[in-house]
Amino acid sequence: MNISVNSEIGRLKRVIVHTPGHEVSLVNPELKDQLLFDDIIFEEDARREHLDMIRIFKAAMPGDGEVLEINDLFLECFQQEDARAFFVEELVKRLSEENLHTIEEELLQLQPGELLQFVIEGATPAIGGFTMLPTPNLLFTRDLAAVVGDSLLLSRPAKKARLREAILMETLARYHPHFAGVRDNIIKIGEQESIEGGDVLVVSDRVVLIGMSERTSFSGLMKATEKLLENGIEHVLAVDIPKQRSSMHLDTIFTFCDDDECIVFPPAITERRDNVVALSYADGNIINQSMPSLKEALEHFLQRELTFISCGGAERTNQFREQWTDGANVFALAPGIIVGYERNTNTFRELNRHGYRLMNQHEFIEEFEEKEFDPGSQKIAIKFIGHELCRGRGGARCMTLPITRAN
């Protein structure tokens, strides 16, 4: 399988998602902060919203496009005994405080479905009496890894609540046949460092953006940069962003809509200066060049002008409200074809002012579910309902891990 991503916007061909399951119903008000949710969410509605989002993807993707459910990939992968053995060993080692060594033999005996249930929900009837917390954030597959060119950068999460997801992803990368082609290009950073996929934006086959955030440490960023530069990327732009919950990853304040258009949260992007450093190789050493702003840095390295569209429009209150509900976190299905939460009405109005035709999920699905969608050069912003999903603090980009895009 050809795994390759050279931009944020190239036509989507393959994407990994996770439709929320019972694990989200195991989040209670006492646990929600620890589990990185801002509220408890209603499973059935969240699932329905997510399935609608997938229908949009399928309607917009080419005929041979694939939306891969991560659970299916695990079940396929866990058929292999060595994949299960690797996974259990990593769990026992990296979650040492859970005392999983006491049930290691039982874990190795579980059927693939039971093992998956144990890991995602924190318990399975097959091992009665042993429980851990669930992993409700698996919904945000974006943060598990990043495909950059034909390399696979594995996340090393900053938050313990997301550690199990990273171990699952590493197992897929090492054992699932889909990843055979990138297996020699796996990038893994050191144990003391952190990086999460939401901070990594593939601007082009030469330029990558990495946020230095609540979740991505300076050393994690530097290690990933070193390896990306070795694997053919020419410039990594390190973007310093506020280290806070509301903007835990760069993609919560900045995403691409088209070759030359991005949605930005002004207070943390356009109103910041001197927060970008360009890292490149020269004579075998990494050199850094301080850039006045993200816009100037991107325009300099891409050699084209960019338009920054304001999340929430011109009003301060709306900018903050809509950033909080992921207005700046759109996902591109093709150049100029984006999806985002419908509730961010001011952001959509702003997109419309910039020439985007607005469609809601039903209009888009109705029009293109049966007939092939040809993105051409049109610009469409597709709105979908995500009132439950949004309580997990992530939008369309967070819920997707593209592994193949057209160039």
Report the nearest approach of ligand ARG to the CB of residue 114 (Å): 26
CB neighbour list of residue 37: distance below 8 Å, 6 or more residues apart: 27, 136, 137, 391, 392, 393
Structure tokens given for 402: 């593209």
| 394 binds ligand ARG, rule: CB under 6 A | yes
Instruction: Give the x-and-dash track for 186-225 against ligand ARG (CB under 6 A).
Output: ------------x---------------------------
Report the nearest approach of ligand ARG to the CB of residue 36 (Å): 3
Nearest CB to ligand ARG, comparing residues 330 and 382: 330
Grouping H, G, I as helix, E, B as strand and the rest as coil, residue 351 is helix
| 170 binds ligand ARG, rule: CB under 6 A | no
Report the nearest approach of ligand ARG to the CB of residue 245 (Å): 8
| 21 binds ligand ARG, rule: CB under 6 A | no
Determine the Cα angle at 16 with ends 184 and 308, to 5°.
100
Nearest CB to ligand ARG, comparing residues 32 and 362: 32
Nearest CB to ligand ARG, comparing residues 22 and 273: 22
| 361 binds ligand ARG, rule: CB under 6 A | no
For residue 92, CA distances in Å to 108, 126, 248 come to: 11, 18, 28
Q: What is the DSSP string of 285-343?
A: EEEEEEES-HHHHHHHHHTS--EEEETTTT-HHHHHHHHHTTTT--EEEETTEEEEETT
CB neighbour list of residue 342: distance below 8 Å, 6 or more residues apart: 348, 360, 361, 383, 384, 385, 386
Can you tell me the distance from the alpha carbon of 119 to that of 108, in angstroms, rounded to the nearest whole number? 13
| 164 binds ligand ARG, rule: CB under 6 A | no
Residue of this chain nearest to ligand ARG (CB atom): 198
Which of 249, 343, 379, 405 touches ligand ARG (CB under 6 A)? 249
Binding range to ligand ARG, per CB under 6 A, among 176-184, 311-319, 339-347, 389-397: 389-397
Which of 57, 74, 87, 140 touches ligand ARG (CB under 6 A)? 140
Closest CA to 18 of 120, 139, 137, 135: 139
276-282/285-291 β-pairing: antiparallel
Nearest CB to ligand ARG, comparing residues 34 and 289: 34
Nearest CB to ligand ARG, comparing residues 155 and 318: 155
| 142 binds ligand ARG, rule: CB under 6 A | yes
Can you tell me the distance from the alpha carbon of 271 to that of 285, in angstroms, rounded to the nearest whole number? 32
Nearest CB to ligand ARG, comparing residues 37 and 373: 37
Structure tokens given for 277: 């450093």
Report the nearest approach of ligand ARG to the CB of residue 331 (Å): 10
Q: What is the DSSP string of 126-176?
A: TBTT------GGGG-GGGGEEEEBTEEEEPB-SSGGGHHHHHHHHHHHHH-
Closest CA to 254 of 262, 245, 244: 262
Catalytic, 257? Answer no
Q: What is the DSSP string of 102-119?
A: GGHHHHHHS-HHHHHHHH
Nearest CB to ligand ARG, comparing residues 115 and 196: 196
- Restricting to residues 31-60, which ones interact with ligand ARG according to CB under 6 A? 36-37
Q: Give the count of residues interacting with ligand ARG (CB under 6 A).
A: 16
| 145 binds ligand ARG, rule: CB under 6 A | no
Under the rule (CB under 6 A), what is the footprint of ligand ARG? 36-37, 137, 140, 142-143, 162, 198, 248-249, 251-252, 392-394, 398
Task: List the catalytic residues.
Answer: 398
